[in-house]
Amino acid sequence: MASLFFFFFFFCQLLLGLGRNFVAGAGQVPAMFVFGDSLVDPGNNNQLLTLAKADYKPHGIDFPEGTTGRFCNGGTVVDHLGYLLGLPLIPPFNNPDTHGIAILQGVNYGSAASGILNDTGELYGNRIPMDEQLQNFNATIQELSSMLLDKTQDHIRRSLFLLAPGSNDYINNYLLPLSKRRSKYTPETFANLLIQQFGRQLKDLYDLGARKFLIVNISPIGCIPNQLASHGSDTGACVESVNQMASQYNRKLKEMVDQYNAQLKESTFLYWDAFSFALNVIENYANYGFKNQNTACCGGGKWKGQVLCLPVFSPCQNRSEYVFWDPYHPTDAFNVIASKDAYQGNLQASFPRNVQQLVES
């Protein structure tokens, strides 16, 4: 009888402990919700009819979980940021197992080839554009509510929302040879369109209860092997005109983030300047331990930037020596140092300056 009582007591403690962990989170935030494209997609496109998939080798060749649908030899920048925050790998929304307790520490909605605009990436087939990613988050809220009841809004308010869209609105929309968008918009008015749409999407998330945002700007997409190849670069130097478009968008994005920080009460929008960080790594690659900053480790054609990393290609021997894994995406080695920059780096001139301070605030 005593032992039964003891067992029951122990069982209750266990449940309480678990409940505390799941509600308050074992990590520095209870959960992380992720939105964006193939830079963050952990396998959402595996279930879609699309050419933008990475559910085959050699993707994942250096990843403990193996091939998952990530466009990388290892972990994405989000995976590595998650490790720093004490979170497990955040599951893809589209995976049939992503329900119940699996969603308590976050969900990743990112989809390869997708963008801020609905038509971005249509060349590849199906994908989940940002507006649909938000609708999917809305479905997650319903499911969270069934488990966390009146604690749901508090859970969302204390969670980290990472958003990294926009690259594909250039690479797989505006910059395409027969782009309809380019015949209607100048680089400036196109950037305005993106900011207007992304601004609305952020406001939607705020209205759904999100308060801690990490906004990742567009990387120096003029430096990726795909753009070196499509602009016929002979030297491997970054394509300036493309980087300027990204910079123009980024300046407007920063203005919007400043404005939202001032306007939207009780919320914090961190702006991570991934552009400057990545450009610095590319320009000073040897200082970061890389031996190659312009050829993909896995791909085909010039700069290995013309053909996607396919199962028939052998990747480079030592992935840690390369900045780029395939024509579009960085290696695990790059993502490791990038996540540290977001976590500990000096992101903007006001408090909080980095993710570590954001989650502690």
Quick one: 152 exposed, middle or buried, by C-beta within 10 A (0-12, 13-18, 19+)? middle
* Catalytic choice (111, 247, 329, 341): 329
Least distance between ligand NAG and beta carbon 72 (Å) = 17
Task: Establish whether 131 is a catalytic residue.
Answer: no
Position of tokens 């996607």?
308
Q: Answer whether 114's CB lies under 8 Å from 130's CB.
A: yes
Contact predicate 331/325, CB 8 Å:
yes
User: Contact letters (x/-) for ligand NAG, 133-162, by CB under 6 A?
Assistant: -xx--x------------------------
Residue 103: helix, strand or coil by DSSP?
Answer: helix
For position 122 contacting ligand NAG by CB under 6 A, the verdict is no
142 contacts 209 by C-beta, under 8 angstroms: no
> CA 326: distance to chain centroid?
17
Q: What is the closest distance, in whole angstroms, from the C-beta atom of residue 285 to ligand NAG in the complex?
A: 10
For residue 110, the number of C-alpha atoms closer than 13 Å in the C-beta half-sphere is 33
When the beta carbons of 24 and 147 are compared against ligand NAG, the nearer one is 147
| Position 237, amino acid | A
In the set 38, 159, 167, 247, the catalytic residue is 38
> Measuring CA to CA, which residue among 332, 357, 355 is closest to residue 162?
355
Task: Please provide residue 224's backbone torsions phi and psi, each rounded to the nearest 5 degrees.
Answer: -75, 145
Q: Check binding of 289 to ligand NAG (CB under 6 A).
A: yes
Catalytic residue among 37, 79, 326, 332: 326
Q: How many CB atoms lie within 10 A of CB 220?
A: 24
The pattern of x and - marking residues 187 through 206 that bind ligand NAG according to CB under 6 A reads -----------------x--
- Binding ligand NAG (rule: CB under 6 A), the pick from 122, 261, 321, 356 is 321
Among this protein's residues, is 258 annotated catalytic?
no
Task: Work out the widest C-alpha separation in the chain, in whole angstroms.
Answer: 81
Q: How far is the CB of 121 from ligand NAG (least distance, A)?
A: 13
* Number of residues located near ligand NAG, criterion CB under 6 A: 12
Task: Using the minimum distance from each CB to ligand NAG, give the nearer residue, 89 or 155.
Answer: 155
Task: Kindly state the smallest distance separating residue 130's Cβ from ligand NAG, in Å.
Answer: 9
Catalytic site includes residue 339: no
- Catalytic residue annotation: 38, 326, 329
> Under the rule (CB under 6 A), what is the footprint of ligand NAG?
118, 131-132, 134-135, 138, 204, 289, 291, 318, 320-321
